[in-house]
């Protein structure tokens, strides 16, 4: 027997839910040997060689860490702030157009730490953070986000999200409604494709692969209606060159579907196909207003979607036809979206909602997703969307040890115990998560965060928030006059039929 190093851990006596493809979603008694960050052995009653740290886990469930496929860390300070408004109006508050200053680096660092803390605490070991920080694409600022995730010990794909078309051209009727002087205020100078590409190359050469490989960069042109074709294609080329995800937003709202009819003659997805923008590295956020023809194209190309079921409810965007997407071969992952539209990083909340709601506009509850399918989306589906299904998302020999340990006796979610998978979906809220391991390292152990001084981070944020929110209220006041204008745009869009509705039975 080979000599085990001090980097080895044996988790003994647990029930294991592997989430491996082709395996039943049912726990089995199984020990887990972890060496140098990877799972080296799985099986009952593994014999621990000398020097191996043993973690007794009787009565515990070990499962893969959850993967959150769509986050905007930029919204983390706006939780619980806005309600009862659709995306297009909500954007004026969450991403104000006028009077903003870049968040200072200390606050940026704290904000990213808060994302990591809440994610890890609720069992999320990997996030895809579409970091949106206009107008800058700044290595120091992006590096601050990377540093926060590095210190926290989480796994993350992080972008420097962008749009490079004038915002008012990306929503139907906006140019007709907004007075010329307001249009002039909102028509900012935009970054060119060559500048963005050279910035991305710099990020790939520096930050990408940091944190021992845990932290990666991804491309994130905001949406086909918000970016030039040239930029979208340049991002595709970088995505293929670096094997990095191509993250974009597709048809989140009915207003976007109306806009798509005007800009693309009906189908954004067809437009993407025609311009070579569909490939297995594509991760579409939302995809609520897609047609059967779109779904077929998506399935054939092997794209992923982040189903942000809770955020879609929160902003009244609609219900994505997830049943049909899964059946067509689209890879489905789950996302919280940013804290301004959700309002937490607890993926278990999304899991529960995803299990609850009927998954298609024309299907009843019988056509919804099973608990097994929802759990797959939250683990291996998310890993595939992150282009990391070979290394995380399930517990198999050779994969990185990204796992969570749940104490099923802690709290009431599993008492009485009927079916672990269904109770993970319908009963659990993250409260049973006792320990969290990323890359073979405990980042939370026995309920205690090992990597950050959690209390100090939270307390510093609370101390600084009064000043921050006073400033944000000033920005809100400066942007408030835009709301009635966007309301008028939305009214005009609502009055216009949209082709997807004409096609639905």
Rank residues 25 and 219 by Cβ distance to Zn ion and give the closer one. Answer: 219
Nearest distance from C-beta of residue 130 to Zn ion, angstroms = 6
Residue whose CB is less far from Zn ion, 285 or 401: 285
Total residues interacting with Zn ion, rule: CB under 5 A:
1
Residue with smaller CB distance to Zn ion, 285 or 353? 285
* Shortest Cβ 285–Zn ion spacing (Å): 5
CB < 8 Å & 24+ apart, contacts of 98-106: 98/185, 98/475, 98/478, 98/479, 98/482, 99/474, 99/475, 99/478, 99/479, 100/475, 101/471, 102/133, 102/136, 102/141, 105/140, 105/141, 105/144
CB-based burial label for 484 (10 Å; 0-12, 13-18, 19+): exposed
Q: Is 304 helix (H, G, I), strand (E, B) or coil?
A: strand
Give the nearest residue (CB) to Zn ion: 285
Shortest distance, position 343 Cβ to Zn ion, whole Å: 14
The count of C-alpha atoms lying within 13 angstroms of the C-alpha of 135, restricted to the half-sphere facing its C-beta, is 16
Q: What are the b/e assignments for 440-450, b being 16+ CB within 10 Å?
A: bbbbbeeeebe
399, 348 in Cβ contact below 8 A?
no
Q: Respond yes or no on whether the N-terminal peptide bond of residue 416 is cis (omega within 30° of 0).
A: yes
- Shortest distance (Å) from residue 261 CB to Zn ion: 22
Nearer to Zn ion, 115 or 457 (CB): 115
For Zn ion, give the closer residue by CB, 308 or 400. Answer: 308
Which tokens is 338 given? 């940013």
Our CB check for Zn ion shows the closer of 267 and 342 to be 342
239 close to 276: Cβ distance less than 8 angstroms = no
- What minimum distance in Å lies between the beta carbon of 94 and Zn ion? 10
266-295: contacts with Zn ion (CB under 5 A): 285
Least separation in angstroms between residue 308's CB and Zn ion is 7
Residue nearer to Zn ion on the CB measure, 159 or 291: 159
We find the least distance from the C-beta atom of residue 312 to Zn ion, in angstroms, to be 11
State the residues that interact with Zn ion by CB under 5 A. 285
């Amino acid at each position: 027997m080979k000599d085990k190093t001090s980097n080895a851990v044996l988790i003994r006596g647990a029930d294991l839910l592997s989430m491996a493809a082709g395996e039943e979603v049912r726990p089995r008694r199984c020990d887990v040997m972890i060496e140098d960050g990877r799972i080296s052995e799985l099986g009952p009653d593994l014999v621990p060689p000398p020097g191996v740290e043993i973690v007794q886990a009787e009565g515990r469930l070990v499962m893969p860490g959850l993967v959150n496929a769509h986050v905007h860390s930029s919204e983390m300070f706006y939780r619980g702030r806005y309600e009862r408004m659709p995306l297009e109006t909500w954007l004026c508050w969450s991403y104000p157009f006028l009077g903003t200053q870049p968040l200072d680096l200390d606050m940026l660092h704290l904000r990213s730490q808060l994302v990591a803390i809440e994610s890890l605490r609720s069992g999320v070991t990997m996030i895809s953070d579409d970091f949106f920080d206009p107008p800058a694409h700044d290595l120091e600022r992006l590096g601050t986000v990377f540093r926060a995730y590095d210190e926290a010990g989480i796994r993350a794909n992080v972008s420097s999200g962008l749009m490079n078309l004038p915002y008012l051209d990306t929503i139907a009727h906006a140019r007709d409604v907004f007075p010329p002087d307001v249009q002039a205020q909102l028509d900012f100078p935009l970054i060119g494709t060559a500048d963005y590409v050279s910035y991305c190359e710099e990020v790939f050469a520096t930050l990408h692969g940091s944190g021992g490989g845990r932290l990666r960069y991804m491309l994130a042109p905001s949406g086909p209606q918000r970016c030039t074709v040239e930029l979208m294609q340049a991002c595709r080329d970088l995505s293929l060159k670096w094997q990095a995800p191509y993250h974009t937003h597709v048809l989140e709202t009915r207003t976007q579907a109306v806009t798509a009819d005007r800009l693309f003659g009906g189908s954004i997805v067809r437009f993407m196909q025609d311009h070579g923008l569909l490939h297995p590295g594509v991760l579409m956020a939302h995809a609520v207003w897609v047609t059967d023809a779109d779904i077929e194209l998506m399935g054939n190309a092997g794209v992923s979607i982040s189903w942000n079921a809770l955020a879609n409810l929160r902003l009244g965007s609609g219900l994505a036809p997830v049943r049909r997407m899964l059946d067509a071969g689209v890879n489905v992952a789950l996302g919280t979206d940013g804290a301004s539209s959700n309002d937490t990083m607890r993926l278990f909340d999304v899991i529960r909602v995803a299990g609850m709601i009927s998954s298609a506009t024309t299907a009843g509850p019988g056509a919804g997703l099973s608990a097994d399918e929802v759990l797959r989306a939250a683990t291996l589906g998310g890993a595939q969307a992150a282009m990391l299904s070979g290394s995380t998302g399930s517990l198999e020999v050779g994969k990185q040890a990204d796992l969570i340990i749940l104490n099923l006796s802690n709290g009431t979610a599993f008492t009485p115990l009927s079916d672990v998978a269904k109770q993970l979906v319908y009963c659990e809220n993250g409260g049973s998560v006792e320990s969290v391991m990323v890359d073979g390292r405990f980042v939370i152990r026995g309920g205690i965060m090992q990597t950050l001084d959690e209390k100090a981070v939270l307390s510093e944020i609370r101390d600084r928030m009064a000043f921050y929110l006073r400033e944000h209220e000033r920005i809100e006041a400066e942007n408030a006059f835009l709301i009635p204008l966007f309301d008028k745009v939305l009214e005009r869009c609502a009055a216009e039929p949209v082709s997807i509705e004409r096609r639905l039975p």
